[in-house]
Structure 1
Amino acid sequence: MPYIAVTALSHAGLVREHNEDSLVIGPWTLCGTVTENPQTLLFPLGTPLVVAIADGLGGQPAGEVASALVVRQLAALGPSLDGAEAVREALDLCNEELYAAAAGRPELATMGTTVAGMVVRGRSPLTFNVGDSRVYDASGDRFRQVSVDDSPPPPPGRRTTSAVTQTLGGSTRPIAVTPHVTALETGADAPRWLLCSDGLTDPVPDEEIGAVLRVHNDGRAAFELWKAAMEAGGPDNITLALVRLGE
């Protein structure tokens, strides 16, 4: 029977005092907590399965509240996300819910989050993102980014930037978002994707991430990617999910 294997890990890193990342895998959510080891869940291929990572905005209040609200909303909506328009509507709803939750509560004002994820619905998944969390196609020997960074170009001499041009929430007044939603066609060469927050991609170059994924899979791959981010200083929360189709 065809199945979906999802291996996930979330960690605060070495610098941040707490974890503001959250993730959703089908009906399950992990919000602002730490996993000591990669965890793998298996699902039958059929009903739309949502897998997503939300990275609460650092430097602004209640990032962990914002990321948790988004993944819980996506968990509730997941089985209904049967097309690109449904995904866009779900992300619009998440954005509206963030602003509604913050209304009249100064401690939540300007809370926001990025999100990156995918909906696996047969062998034609949808990927989506708002912000700079990422989705990569890691099928076979490939490793290429399929999400679109909402970021300005990095400063001269630097590989990354912490600035973002679009997030869910994050402002004093409601601002509409334009989610990036892409339909993918899977080939026969071991379909697999990596979803991650910038706690992985900022300290670890794409070339190194791709090299790890060409050698390892599932739990070992997740562990080696986490280790690479930690050895690079672990400057931010590290959350990642590997999604693989199997027979």
Structure 2
Amino acid sequence: MSYVAVSALSHPGLLRDKNEDSLVVGPWTLCATVTENPQTLVFPLGTPLVVAVADGLGGHPGGEVASALVVRRLASIGPTLSREDAVRDALDSCNRAVYAAADAKGGDGGSELTMMGTTVAGAVVLPESLLAFNVGDSRVFAAPRGGLRQVSVDDSPRPAPGRRTTSLVTQCLGGTPHYRAVVPHVTAASLSPGDRYLICTDGLTDPVPDDAVDGLLREYDDGRAAFELWKAAIAAGGPDNITLAVVRIADD
């Protein structure tokens, strides 16, 4: 029998006052939480399993509210996401839900939350395939033995000359005064035992170059790899919230 092992953690980093990232693994969610040791969960391969991170927009009040709303919604509808169009519809639904929540809070006098928004990136693990998805600049990587390969598509402008990253995003869930539709990126890939994926917010990928991420995933297994990736982001200054999940497909 095949199964899915997911090792995940979420941490505010060294410079942020709070953690605006959220995480979903199947029915389990982690919102605005601090973990320094990876949590590992194991699920049988069968029912669609959603694993995703959401990064509340920095500089906009309510980022943690938006990211938590999205992962909880994905946890609720995750078992129904067996097709690419269903994933796109789910992300459209999440986007509308963020705007609706912002409008509702604005109506209660919490108008500072009307611009709340979040990125999202993740994967739906199916018996023989994986559906990777994202809106924004959080990322999904395939991590085969041949080397790290990004399968998500960054919604961000090209970095300025001399810079490796940018903090700007060209689309996200919510984040504007009035409703704006999103065009989610969804990519299908075949799946077999031994495959590994990394799903993470830019709190990992901004300070830690891809070759360093690749090296740590090659050197360590699952939970230890998640821990070492977090350590690398902290050693690089921990400038942002850090949330990541290492997903592995395995046989008994």
Which TM-score applies when normalising by structure 2? Answer: 0.96
Q: Quote the sequence identity (%).
A: 68
Matched with 2:237 is 233
One-letter amino acid of the counterpart of residue 155, structure 2: D
**Structure 2, unaligned stretches of length 5 or more?**
none
2: CA distance, partners of 1:34 / 1:241: 14
Matched with 2:197 is 193
2: CA distance, partners of 1:209 / 1:142: 10
Give yes or no for contact 2:217–2:225 (8 Å, CA) kept in 1: yes
**Structure 1, unaligned stretches of length 5 or more?**
none
Tell me, what secondary structure is at the counterpart of 1:53?
Answer: strand
One-letter amino acid of the counterpart of residue 236, structure 1: D
One-letter amino acid of the counterpart of residue 101, structure 1: A
Give yes or no for contact 2:130–2:188 (8 Å, CA) kept in 1: yes
CA deviation map 1:123-175 (0-9, x unaligned):
21100000000000002232110000000000000000000000000000000
Give yes or no for contact 1:193–1:242 (8 Å, CA) kept in 2: yes
2: CA distance, partners of 1:58 / 1:182: 27
CA RMSD of aligned residues (A): 0.8
1:211 alignment partner, one of 215, 221, 243: 215
Matched with 1:116 is 121
Matched with 2:206 is 202
Number of residue equivalences: 246
Tell me, what secondary structure is at the counterpart of 2:181?
Answer: coil
Displacement after TM superposition at 1:108 (Å): 1.2
Give yes or no for contact 2:4–2:248 (8 Å, CA) kept in 1: yes
2: CA distance, partners of 1:15 / 1:183: 36
1: CA distance, partners of 2:221 / 2:153: 24
CA deviation map 1:45-94 (0-9, x unaligned):
00000000000000001000000000000000000001000000000000
Displacement after TM superposition at 1:107 (Å): 2.8
Give yes or no for contact 1:141–1:214 (8 Å, CA) kept in 2: no
The answer to whether the aligner puts 1:184 opposite 2:189 as a matched pair is yes
Matched with 1:132 is 137
Displacement after TM superposition at 1:186 (Å): 2.8
2: CA distance, partners of 1:143 / 1:163: 24
Matched with 2:248 is 244
2: CA distance, partners of 1:76 / 1:187: 26
One-letter amino acid of the counterpart of residue 168, structure 1: L
Matched with 2:160 is 155
Tell me, what secondary structure is at the counterpart of 1:94?
Answer: helix
Displacement after TM superposition at 1:100 (Å): 0.4
Deviating beyond 3 angstroms after TM superposition, the runs of 4 or more aligned structure 1 residues are none
Displacement after TM superposition at 1:204 (Å): 0.3
2: CA distance, partners of 1:194 / 1:237: 16
The answer to whether the aligner puts 1:5 opposite 2:5 as a matched pair is yes
Which TM-score applies when normalising by structure 1? Answer: 0.98
2: CA distance, partners of 1:116 / 1:34: 20
Tell me, what secondary structure is at the counterpart of 2:186?
Answer: strand
